[in-house]
């Protein structure tokens, strides 16, 4: 479907009531909302990407207690950071944090959105979230961040559309224009997050939503498309990568065929898929290239031969 490049100016009325709703129903007790320290905010933002709040809560507190600032994290070995991250998924995020810690501990936080986006793994959303939620953006005057949830709330409530139907610039203008004068950018973004998490989900729960009375999507009766089911994790390459990485972190002496053999316990695993997973982990900087070859082996070809041999399990 072609994205809409222009829409009518709806003004701020679509967000009427979000400030009072947020005061009464917002998730004010989330611990990362109690700080403006940019490191603590960054850890929460990277953890919350594709991981639920319930899973992140205990892990965020443990992570920032162990490494309370970039200097302490940068001084730790990457393997230690990856072990701490286990169970959250997508371990590239842990490596990004570790790399960012090294950059920031040496040169400080880069200024502005463009500067922050030079950090590993930091895109437009994360840069704007850092400026909105931490004290490095206190005087920046930056626009609110826009992730999938915030974009969905604004697109539906203001324009009666789904976010994928709109150009990013339209969403940015709509979100910025909807901020009530009673809310700072920080609290406005948190309010939008909470409306998205509690009510405006992929399949919406409109009853008692802060924007129920003014929502354009609800007003025009547009049906919400059925959400496409996510591919199963069981037996996926993600599970295979995670299993092999966990084995590598659990035993630093485990190499080559032994790592691949660990992956063979995943349903549907083959020697070829396990080697693909190992290669991907190496390419992402999560596994040292030397771990792909057994000590004394001439090349990875010997690993392939070992994996292809009949299992004695």
Residues designated catalytic: 45
Nearest to 183 by CA among 45, 12, 34: 12
From the CB of residue 156, how many other CB atoms can be counted at a distance below 10 Å?
24
Chain mean position to CA 172 = 20
Contact 271, 308 (CB under 8 A): yes
Q: What are phi and psi of 154, to 5 degrees?
A: -65, -45
CA distance 286 to 27: 34
CA distance 8 to 109: 38
Q: Name the percent of the chain in helix, strand, coil, to the closest 5.
A: 60, 0, 40
> By three-state DSSP, how is residue 3 classified?
coil
In 10-134 the beta strands, taken as DSSP E runs, fall at: none
CA distance 207 to 117: 38
Chain mean position to CA 255 = 30
**Using CA atoms in the order 155, 161, 166, 172, what is the torsion angle rounded to 10 degrees?**
-10
């Amino acid at each position: 479907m072609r994205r809409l490049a222009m829409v009518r100016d709806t003004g701020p009325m679509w967000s009427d009531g979000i400030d009072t709703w947020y005061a009464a129903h917002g998730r004010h007790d989330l611990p990362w909302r109690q700080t403006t320290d940019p490191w603590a905010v960054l850890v929460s933002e990277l953890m919350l990407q594709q991981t639920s709040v319930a899973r992140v809560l205990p892990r965020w507190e443990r992570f920032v207690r162990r490494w309370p600032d970039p200097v302490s994290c940068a001084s730790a070995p990457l393997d230690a950071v990856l072990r701490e991250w286990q169970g959250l998924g997508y371990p590239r995020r842990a490596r990004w944090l570790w790399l960012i810690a090294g950059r920031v501990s040496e040169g400080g936080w880069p200024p502005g959105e463009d500067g922050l986006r030079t950090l590993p793994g930091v895109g437009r959303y994360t840069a704007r979230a850092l400026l909105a939620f931490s004290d490095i953006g206190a005087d920046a005057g930056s626009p609110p961040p826009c992730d999938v949830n915030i974009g969905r709330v604004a697109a539906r409530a203001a324009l009666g559309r789904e976010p994928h139907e709109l150009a990013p610039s339209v969403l940015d203008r709509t979100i910025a224009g909807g901020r009530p004068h009673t809310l700072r950018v920080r609290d406005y973004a948190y309010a939008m997050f909470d409306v998205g998490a509690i009510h405006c989900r992929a399949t919406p729960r409109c009853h008692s939503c802060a924007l129920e009375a003014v929502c354009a999507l609800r007003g025009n009766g547009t049906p919400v498309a059925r959400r496409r089911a996510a591919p199963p994790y069981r037996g996926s390459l993600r599970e295979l990568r995670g299993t092999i990485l966990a084995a590598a972190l659990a035993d630093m002496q485990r190499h080559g065929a032994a790592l691949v053999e660990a992956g063979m316990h995943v349903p549907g695993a083959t020697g070829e898929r396990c080697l693909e997973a190992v290669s991907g982990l190496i390419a992402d900087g999560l596994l040292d290239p030397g771990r792909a070859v057994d000590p004394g082996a001439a090349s990875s070809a010997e690993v392939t031969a070992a994996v292809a041999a009949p299992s004695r399990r």
